[in-house]
Structure 1
Amino acid sequence: MLQETHFRSGATPTLQNKSYPTNHFCNHPTARKAGVAILLSTELEFQVLDTVTDTQGRYLFLKGTIAGKLYTFANIYVTNKRQAMFLKSTLAKLNDFSEGILVLGVDFNVPLDPILDSSTGHSSISQLHL
């Protein structure tokens, strides 16, 4: 799972790696920002049943089967502002879509230590509880 792929819709490159021939992308429609991808190995015989993508390239959900078992793969790249609101809304959509075993990748887009990891020295994380 990759976040911040920064491809525009219609400009997704073809990956040349034989080990990952099946690629699913969700890109921003007009700008080179955001973007997520789920790359599936040749060793994983995943049969896609359904997908959900975000119009702004922030999340991608895949539902399908592996060896007859139902799985949902979800990749989320959280916005850098209003993270709690975005995450709450996105997780509600994922809850409605998800079936079987959930495999989740997330870039929360927040610094672990705001003093060291942000240019402002503080975090913009809301104190809202999910």
Structure 2
Amino acid sequence: YDKVRVFSQDLTTLKCKKVSIALIQESHLKSTDVHRFQNKYFKVFFSSSAVNKSKGVLIVSKRNIVFSIKRSGNDTEGRITHVVVSLNNTKYAFMSLYAPIEGDSKFFQELLRLVVSLKDCLVVLGSDFNAVLDPQLDRSHKVPFRLKYLLILW
């Protein structure tokens, strides 16, 4: 299974870089396959997967990190997962996001509600927002969507 080999390389890189918690986007894993992104050093802490192998977000942590989980959640579309933990008497909210390419306002409204609910935490956000300030810089899409229009939705 070629993807397992790629995951193994990714996890080796995390270990070499001394990463404790990683926020992964575009995992392209079904919920039944999320466990494949683990090894003896790292575990998938929280995830969200789409029904098919598109999208997918993960929160991966070293196995030896000790913290108290306060709350967590995810969507069912493979775009948002988060966990609130207490570490050294401080509450952290780790969020991994993968925004729709077309700038879906429902996604950003849900994200805003989530962020507001985390006001008592230090938020650590890893994301692929799929938008740019200058569409001329992003030539990968036929229909450009400017980030400033998304920010207006907030």
With structure 1 as the length reference, what TM-score do the two structures score?
A: 0.80
C-alpha distance in 1, partners of 2:141/2:87? 45
C-alpha distance in 1, partners of 2:114/2:122? 16
1:5-61 alpha-carbon deviations (Å, 9 max, x no partner): 111122223334333235322111x21111100111245322222111011010001
Q: Is this contact kept in 1: 2:46–2:82, CA < 8 A?
A: no
C-alpha distance in 2, partners of 1:16/1:36? 14
Q: Is this contact kept in 2: 1:115–1:122, CA < 8 A?
A: no
Evaluate the alpha carbon distance shift between residue 22 and residue 33 of structure 1 in structure 2; reply closer, same or farther with a 3 A threshold: closer
SS of the equivalent of 1:115 reads: helix
Aligned residue number for residue 11 of structure 2: none
* Percent identity between the two aligned chains: 26
With structure 2 as the length reference, what TM-score do the two structures score?
A: 0.69
Q: Does 1:106 align with 2:111?
A: no
C-alpha distance in 2, partners of 1:99/1:21? 26
CA shift at 1:91, angstroms? 2.1
C-alpha distance in 2, partners of 1:106/1:63? 17
Q: 1:78 aligns with which of 96, 99, 108?
A: 99
Q: Does 1:8 align with 2:8?
A: no
Please list every run of 5 or more consecutive structure 1 residues that lacks an aligned counterpart in the other structure: none
Evaluate the alpha carbon distance shift between residue 26 and residue 53 of structure 1 in structure 2; reply closer, same or farther with a 3 A threshold: same
C-alpha distance in 1, partners of 2:95/2:127? 8
Please list every run of 5 or more consecutive structure 2 residues that lacks an aligned counterpart in the other structure: 1-22
Alignment of 1:20-35 (within 5 A): 20-28=42-50, 30-35=51-56
Aligned residue number for residue 109 of structure 2: 88
Aligned residue number for residue 40 of structure 1: 61
RMSD over aligned Cα atoms: 2.5
CA shift at 1:94, angstroms? 2.7
Q: Is this contact kept in 1: 2:26–2:57, CA < 8 A?
A: yes
Aligned residue number for residue 90 of structure 2: 69
Q: Is this contact kept in 1: 2:25–2:56, CA < 8 A?
A: yes
Q: Is this contact kept in 2: 1:63–1:98, CA < 8 A?
A: no
C-alpha distance in 1, partners of 2:32/2:126? 24
Evaluate the alpha carbon distance shift between residue 89 and residue 21 of structure 1 in structure 2; reply closer, same or farther with a 3 A threshold: closer
Between 14-23 and 66-75, report the one with greater CA deviation: 14-23
C-alpha distance in 1, partners of 2:106/2:44? 32
